[in-house]
Amino acid sequence: MGGQVSAEADAEIEGERKWVFISHDPLSLDELMKMVSDPACGAITTFSGTTRDNFEGKKAYEPMALKEMDRILQEVLEGACGKGVRRVACAHRLGVVPLAEASVLIAVASEHRPEGFAACRYIIDTLKAKVPIWKKEIYADGETWKANKEWDPTHS
C-alpha cells in the first residue's frame, strides 16, 4: 500500500478475490479499488475510517489480526451479506496515523450495491468486534491507550 507492507495475507479462491493488509505506511483507497475491480460487478463500495480529533504500551498482534481479517473477508465471500460479492480488500494502518488520514480501508466489488453496502458494514463492524486493535490516542491534555470499544474478547 503506497510503500512496504509489514504483513500481508492473500488467499486464492477462484483467482485472487480477497486481500488483507497491515501496514505502517499510508493506505491507498485507489489501490484497494483497483484490486477489487471486476468487470462482472456493477458496484465498488468503500469504507474509510479516519483519525479524528476527539473521542470519549500495547501493540497489535499482527499475525492474529491478519488471520481474523482474512476470516471476516472469507465470511463475506461465502455469502454472509448475500450473493453477488465477488472481491473484497481490507487494510489497517499501524503506527502514527495523522489526523484525517485513513487507519482502515475496505473495498468491496459486488454485482449490485445493496450487497456491497452490507459487506462494508459487516466487515468494519465485525473487525471492530473481533480484532483487538489497540491504539494510543493523543490529546491536547495527555494521551491514553485503548482498545476498540466494540471489542469483545470472547469473539477472538
Q: Tell me the pLDDT band of 116, cut-offs 50, 70 and 90.
A: very high
| Of the candidates 59, 47, 53, 56, the residue with the CA atom closest to the CA atom of residue 127 | 47
The model's pLDDT over 39-75, given as tens digits with 9 standing for 90+, comes to 999 999 999 998 766 544 455 577 888 999 999 999 9
The model's pLDDT over 139-151, given as tens digits with 9 standing for 90+, comes to 677 666 555 555 5
Instruction: Tell me how far apart the alpha carbons of residues 143 and 59 are, in angstroms, rounded to a whole number.
Output: 15
Instruction: Tell me how far apart the alpha carbons of residues 128 and 3 are, in angstroms, rounded to a whole number.
Output: 25
